[in-house]
Structure 1
Amino acid sequence: MTIGSTTCLHYVNVSENTAVTYGQRGHQSLQSQQCHYYKYGAEGSADEACIVSGASPTGTVGTASILLGTETAGERSVVGISAVLLRAGAAGEGNSVGVLSPTSTVDVVTVLQKAVGGGSTDNPEECNVCCITYDESERRPRTLPCGHTFCSSCILQLTTSNQLTCPDCRASHPATSLDNFPVSYAMEAFVKKFKNVQLVQTAGAAGETPSVKPAAEKQMPVKTKGGTTQKRPSGMSKKLWSLLGEHESSMRSQLTGFQNTQSQLEQYWTWLTDQNEQNLQLLKKVEEFTHNVATFVKLIEEEVARVMAMKQEGEEGVKQLEARLECLQNANTAQEAFTAINHADQCSVEVEDWRQKCQKQFPDDNIVTTSIKYGQVREAIRTALDALAAETDATHTPGLPPHPDPASTIMDKINTITKMPQQITVENLLEMSQRIKTLVENLLGMSQRMKMLLQDLRIKTLVEDGLVFAVQEDQGGIRSSRITLENDQISMHCLQDQPPPPHAHTLQVSEVLGARDPSSTLVHLDLGWGGSTRGRVHIRLSPNTPAAQQFVLLCTGHTGVSYRNTKLHSMGDKGRPGECVLGGDYEGKGGGGGAGIIDISDGQYQESGRAGAVWWRYDDAARAAQFAITTRDCEGRWPLADVFGEVVSGLEVVRAAANHSDITQVTVVDCGIVLNQ
């Protein structure tokens, strides 16, 4: 048969699912009720092409109705009543022209000639698939990643399963939407220019009106100048005048948009400049703060060096005092006694000079105050950095939406990112007022806490420097006891028959003892032998027992006598279960003294067979102040009665004293009561 002026070399009437084998291409499955297969060119030649159509095989085919088909490697499937599948080149080559849309009506001869010619190079303003000129609506030119360009309509119809195979080079591209393939603005400009040239050529004919009539529904653009409507020149056609008006209107619209964008850029520039100025100011303050901190660090390092030097002098002083104390204890002759006393007096003067020097030099008020201020700043900076790090590490960072409105301005986008309100409401004002009020209250509270903290630090320094004493004045004069801080425990030591040192801060003994919790009293004994203190023993006393009340009075020296400088005088059951050490003879009678200062016989005492139990042993009033501390469990023996306390720490010190070769050399160097627990 004949297609246009071209002879079809082959014609086959193919039924549904019948395979037609030709050349090296393999086979072609035609899935239709009644299909007609046409061959253009020699079998397997370079100009081979084919058409599958539902049209009649007889006569001359001028046009054909076309439906979409798909092609895979080595096999081509045609789905539908009729379709056109075109390939240019030898069998197996990848330069298929492709398929046409289901609604297209095309000249078959033109299609075959384009197929054999390898594409529409003579008409670049047309889509190579549908052979229709590009426009600015449904058939906008779009470029594939492989570089070939087709209209939007054909791209949509060629897309299957989110994939698109290029009809020219057969490259496969992901295609979830038309936005995957950008519009070819260069091609659009070319087509527009091409149309303009055609219009000018048409208008240049001898007074002839262009053959292409404008659409009836399209309003003719009006040219204006200075607000006055311009008339069309007599030598210019209506079509050209309309085209000129379109371009002028488009240019005005572009100018307005350009000016708006320029204004947005100006606002953005102002915003950036303001942000940069604030950052520069912040950077300057940070640099100043860093410089001040570096200077302060040097001051602290110098202060640390002075403190370390003073501590070393103090350690030497402690060694000298211990040595002089041992000499006083071991003096056996009058000469040794005088020598020991002279050396002790000299050492006391040196130690007192050292203490006075420490009190004058330390602490440096400026360093302490500045350190507290910098501490608050450090905490604020640390909090800000932690918040910034948490914001950076978050799974979602506030910003532009995935697909922002193209009409959004630059400042709209900035407001979206920074979450700035577009409008201020009454609720915003009320919430702002409440937040500011809360912030001010917090700042005031912080200021008050800083003052309290500064005061606490000053008090702590005074206590550590030994400048806080508890005093008691009676007929015998003023007696005083040291207030010390050790391991966060504040202790009042045993009263001594001497006034506090000059410039010391004093408290009344009655006020100090009245501040303690009587239901849970903690006292301490410092044991020593061989000229040095070996450790501290803390004893928890049972509440509301006479023996415990007497023990407190003797640990504090409140009545004038105390356990201070008394010795342990004996042991019981040494090396056996129930082993204990005995002490409390404040009269120094080798265990025969230590009269009770209150009646302790009437009380509800506990029983215990555990090591660490503290109990009183004698009903004899002459020795009622004596106490015993168990160092070994009773293990099967009757539990101990009259227990009024328990060692909560330092039992190993008591056991070490029990293992000393001479228990009578173990001394209660100091004693006192713990004020906070």
Structure 2
Amino acid sequence: MQDEMDTELTCPVCQEIYTKDLREPVLLPGCGHTFCRTCLCSVETSGKVLCPTCRKRHIGSPMSSLPTIYALLSLSEKYKKPLNTEAPCLHHGSPLEFWCRRCQEALCGHCLLAGHLREGHVVEKGSVFVAEKKDEILSSIAHLVNEVEMKKELIIKQMGELIIQIALNTEESQILHDSKTEAENILKDIPNVNCIDSALTSQVLVNSLQMGTQKIPLSRTKMSDSSFCDKCKPCPDMETESHPVRLESCTSVEEDAEDNREGMNTEPHSPLEKEANESFKYQVNETTDKYLGESINMGHVAGEVSERNSLVCSKNENLNQSNLIALRTKAPWPLRCYVVGNDGRTGKLKWENDKLHMYSLSRTQNDAQFMIQLSVVEWLISAESPEVFLDLGSDQHYLGRVYIRLYGHLRRAQHFLALCLGSLGPSYKFSKFHGVAKRGAPGETLAGGKYITSENTISIQGLIPGLEWGGHHISEKRAGLVVGASGGRPTEDAFFHICTKDHIGRKFACVFGEVVSEMQVLRDAVHHMLQSDVQITDVGVILSQGI
């Protein structure tokens, strides 16, 4: 019986008896399991906690604000085991009840009388010394915890920046890959350019490709100069594993980028560069003439033009072309980065509108070189005001993208976020809007919320218990508000409406977000609902603003 009582009054994580202040018992409302507040705070991340017992996700009030279970605390104070007493005095066998500050020794009554009542000795009760030490320890722990939290935030920030950089680099690699492919296609089509219009069109396409590639800053991938001789700058495409190519003279990547940005004249700065350029122009013209006359392999021409156009080097430098080709084939290209959940589903990362977008998790196969765990990526989602996006389409026609900012402190907003992210299984991807309420009238709303389950069935069941309804969450009807539409019934908690027309004086029962851009896309969706279905063709969350 005593063992059972000890179990009930002990935190399952740290195995300590519940006590006031340090080990107060608190209850996770989502599953009902009890732990001490200190342990729950230690596993809390961005306002979210996975129950250490059943692994159920708790989203809502922070651990520091959960109410203490005072009945359990009182019971633990009454029935807790007595603390182990100190070992008795080695000389007299009596309890050590005093402390001498001068001698820094624990004393029993006999020790006190024998030699510590003389002048210069400062003796106090052991309980006073213990209380003082406990205060010192608590202060030191508080300082330590504060320092750990500060460093934790710094590490999380640095990891977030690293994730953003990886995602940005992979996006840029795709742009470069697509630009090269398009350039090769344009080059292949040169024999068909026989009129002014087609020539101008080809030139516009080339200019567009050049602008796209010039926007990618090379400074982030700048190589160290230490592995090259003093007379040259590094040319990354020219080095081999055994020996980096050492050029007598080559243009600086940073200088070229600066020239391109400011529209400066990019004529060669030295006679040697001018000579190399003239040689390059002659060889390109010669190659093009050869192609037009003899119809040679254009893949070789494209590779040669791309290779020569990327570097301006000394004509005396002998390059091993086969080594260059072998070197390049070792690196996967273009680079791809995905987020992976605990169940193996993945979601793509993509830079769009100067924001890092994560698309909802799915079973789609991919060939990504970088995989980042969802639990790590979630650090980049704003806790206070997460932003999600919905891509809308009708009859294979893309209507546009809507951005919605959620009220992160609400469980209903976290529920909507989970269905945009797919973090709890299903998502709103391919979900169809099922109607328009009060069409054309004040308070008009676009109604949605049916999602597809893993069993390929339609559901509106809530995925998180205890979603808000009514009370102080009531708000006046205003265009752009995203509101719950379940009537407070958990079996329909996935239902939501997006208001498209104000209705002054009337109110929604639970507002949990608002549209921040592209309201016109929603109005177009309302219009299309007259003739065809409108669905969410893609969905996801914003991880970070541009850097």
Answer with 1 or 2: which has the greater Rg.
1
Question: TM-score higher than 0.5 here?
Answer: no
TM-score by length of 2: 0.40
